[in-house]
Amino acid sequence: MICRILYIAIILTFFCLTNTGCAAQMKAVKGLSRVGFAIQVGAFSEVKNAERLTNRLQQKGIEAFYFRKDSGLYAVRFGDFETKEKAKKAAKRLVSEKVIGSYFIAPPQIDGKKSREVAIEKAPQPSLKKLTPVVPKKSKEDRAGDAETPDHAKAHSDMGAIAARTAERFVGIPYRWGGDTVVDGMDCSGFARAVYNLCGVNIPRSSREQFKVGDNISKADLKDGDLVFFGNSEAEINHVGIYIGDGRFVHAPRRGDDIKISGIEEAYFIKRFIGAKRYF
């Protein structure tokens, strides 16, 4: 009898511990999720054609975005499906409705692995005049508190570099996603969401919601792939960009403008810097 009671107690203890662990994990990634299978269409030489297809999909309530591939051609991607079969079913329906033509089912990304559509080679760095990044010196206490395990640091280095290099490939592309379509939030935050989507991570739609998740990062500790936020206050965040190193970040200034690189220490941004977040 005593043995049976002890056995039940051990089982209950194990159950509680494992459920507590799961809850902690869910809390740690609240607001973030992995991107499943996606539908990719098009191999356009003209960005306007990719933009036109994106708008057609958005008019149907589908959150789509276009991007430049390694080849220099433009493709459109959308969807987040649990299985390849569900993605195919949705694609075939759109083909039958003559919304899309041929398509490719993009598989989920794997941490630290290079996507076939993402080049991790460093893009040429445009010169930024009047840019003099100032990085505050850190105390011994701060440096000690920043220690990371080698595995965690390497994981961020890999995924952060991929996110930064992916963002750089958008530079110079006209940014006209959203407009008056039914899809909300396709502005600067939509650009950040599209880049992270290509890297296999779903983040919230608006910049304010994006700021609520992830780890807080100081300006002195910024690394490739971190999101940098700007506004009047944490309650009034109105802009976000993707940090790419050397005091620079990629962002979509406003609808209709080209995606560009700016310096985080430029007068306009230094006054409005609110904070940064890391999701890897």
Residue 152 among the catalytic residues: no
Taking the C-alpha atoms of residue 232 and residue 222, their distance in angstroms, rounded to an integer, is: 21
Phi–psi pair at 24, nearest 5 degrees: -65, -40
As its CATH architecture, domain 140-278 has: Alpha-Beta Complex (3.90)
> How many residues in the chain?
280
Residue 142's pLDDT is what?
45
List the chain pLDDT tens, one digit each, 280 residues: 444 444 434 333 333 333 333 223 323 446 688 889 999 998 899 988 988 898 888 888 888 988 888 888 999 999 999 999 999 999 999 999 998 999 999 998 754 444 444 333 333 343 344 333 334 444 444 444 444 444 544 545 588 999 999 999 889 887 765 544 433 334 788 889 889 999 889 899 889 999 999 999 999 999 999 999 999 999 999 999 999 999 999 998 876 678 999 999 999 999 999 999 998 7
Taking the C-alpha atoms of residue 137 and residue 231, their distance in angstroms, rounded to an integer, is: 25
Residue 234's pLDDT is what?
93
Q: Which residues contact 85 (CB under 8 A, 6 or more apart)?
A: none
Q: How far is CA 273 from CA 225, 245, 263, in A?
A: 17, 16, 11
Question: Which one of the listed residues 3, 22, 156, 239 is annotated catalytic?
Answer: 239
Two structure tokens written together for 38: 């996606």
Q: What is the pTM of this model?
A: 0.68
| Domain ranges, ordered by start, for the chain | 33-106, 140-278
Question: Which one of the listed residues 3, 16, 22, 251 is annotated catalytic?
Answer: 251
Residue 156 among the catalytic residues: no
As its CATH architecture, domain 33-106 has: 2-Layer Sandwich (3.30)
Question: Which one of the listed residues 16, 22, 156, 188 is annotated catalytic?
Answer: 188
Taking the C-alpha atoms of residue 67 and residue 85, their distance in angstroms, rounded to an integer, is: 24
Residue 188 among the catalytic residues: yes
